[in-house]
Amino acid sequence: MLPFPIVDTHLHLWDPGHLRYPWLDAIPLLNKPYLLEDYNRHCGPVQVEQMVFLQCEADFAQFREEAAWVTGLAQIDPRITGIVPWAPLERGDAARAELEQLAANPLIKGVRRIIQFEPDIEFCLRPDFVRGVQALPDYGFSFDICISHIQLANTIKLVAQCPNVQFILDHIGKPGIKNHLLDPWRDEMRALAAHPNVWCKVSGLVTEADHQQWTRDDLKPYIDHVIDCFGFDRVMYGGDWPVAYQATDYPRWVETLQWAVSGCSDAELRKLFRDNAIAFYRLASREV
C-alpha cells in the first residue's frame, strides 16, 4: 500500500431517499444510500487525505440541492475539500446566473455536465454548449469531461475552441476495455493530450472492463498509454466509488494502479496519487 495518504479526485455520495437519481433504477447494487461511513469502510487500509465530490446525475432540477447537501457533508468530514456539481452549460450565456450562484461556494472547484449520455454525437459542439464551457474561467471553474470513447473526436474539437478552460478527462475517456479495444482511442488520446490545458483522471477503468473477470494486465496497456500521452504532470488518481464497486473493492483498484506504475519515481507516484489533484482542483496543500 502507498506510503502516504492520497487525494481521491472522484468521489460519489448519494442518498436516493433525499434526492432523485433516475439512472440508479437499473442498477440494484447501487440503488441505495452510499454515504461517508460506507466510503470510510470500503477504503479499508487506504488512507485518504482529501476528497473531491463529483456530481452524481441527480435529477437536473436538483443540482443546487445536491451541491448544498454535499457542502453540509463537508462540515461533517472536512476531507471533502472540493465539489464539482452539474450546471446547465447547454444554455450558453444564460447559464451564467447559475454559475455565479455556484461560485459563491468556495468548495465548488469546477463543473461537470456529462456528455456521454447525449444521443447527439455532436452535442458538445453545439454553439450554446461551447459558450457555456467557455464561460467557466470567469468563475474560476474547471470542466470535468465525462464521455464515452466514441465521443473523443468531437471532444478534441470542443477543447480546441476553449483554450482558456482547464479540462480534466474523467475515466480516461471510457475506452472499450472489456473488448480490448485500443484504436482509435490511442491516437485520439494523444491528440487530446497535445492541448496543454487538458489533464487526465485515471479512474473508472474497471467499470469499462469485464466486471467479474478483469485482470490488472487488461488495464495496464491503457494506463501505460495515458501516462505516455500526459506524463506524470497531468494525470491523477480517482476512486470512482461506489460506481467502481460493481467491479472491484477500493483497495484493489489502488493496488492495481500502483502496480501499473511500479517503475516510476517516488515523486511521480506522489504526483499521480496526491500532488496533481491538489494543483488542478486548487485544494489546500497539507504537509504529509
pLDDT score at 287: 59
Helix (H) or strand (E) holding 65: helix 63-76
Distance CA 260, CA 237 (A): 12
Percent helix / strand / coil, the chain, rounded to 5: 50, 15, 40
pLDDT score at 284: 86
pLDDT of 159 higher than 80? yes
Q: Which residue type does 235 have?
A: V
Question: Full-prediction pTM beyond 0.95?
Answer: yes
pLDDT band at 285 (very low <50, low <70, confident <90, very high): confident
pLDDT of 288 higher than 80? no
pLDDT of 31 higher than 60? yes
Distance CA 53, CA 137 (A): 20
Quick check: 11 and 53 in contact, CB under 8 A?
yes
Strand order through the sheet with 80-84: 6-11, 48-54, 80-84
pLDDT in tens, 192-240: 999 999 999 999 999 999 999 999 999 999 999 999 999 999 999 999 9
pLDDT band at 269 (very low <50, low <70, confident <90, very high): very high
pLDDT of 58 higher than 70? yes
Work out the number of other CB atoms within 10 angstroms of the CB of residue 241: 23
pLDDT in tens, 228-258: 999 999 999 999 999 999 999 999 999 999 9
pLDDT band at 1 (very low <50, low <70, confident <90, very high): confident
pLDDT score at 57: 98
Q: What is the mean pLDDT of residues 253-264?
A: 98
Q: Are β-strands 80-84 and 110-111 bridged in parallel, bridged antiparallel, or unpaired?
A: unpaired
pLDDT of 51 higher than 70? yes
- Cell 440541492 identifies what position? 65
pLDDT in tens, 107-131: 999 999 999 999 999 999 999 999 9
| DSSP string of 73-105, one letter each residue | HHHH-TTEEEEE----GGGGGGGHHHHHHHHTS
Helix (H) or strand (E) holding 89: none
Share of the chain above pLDDT 90, in %: 98
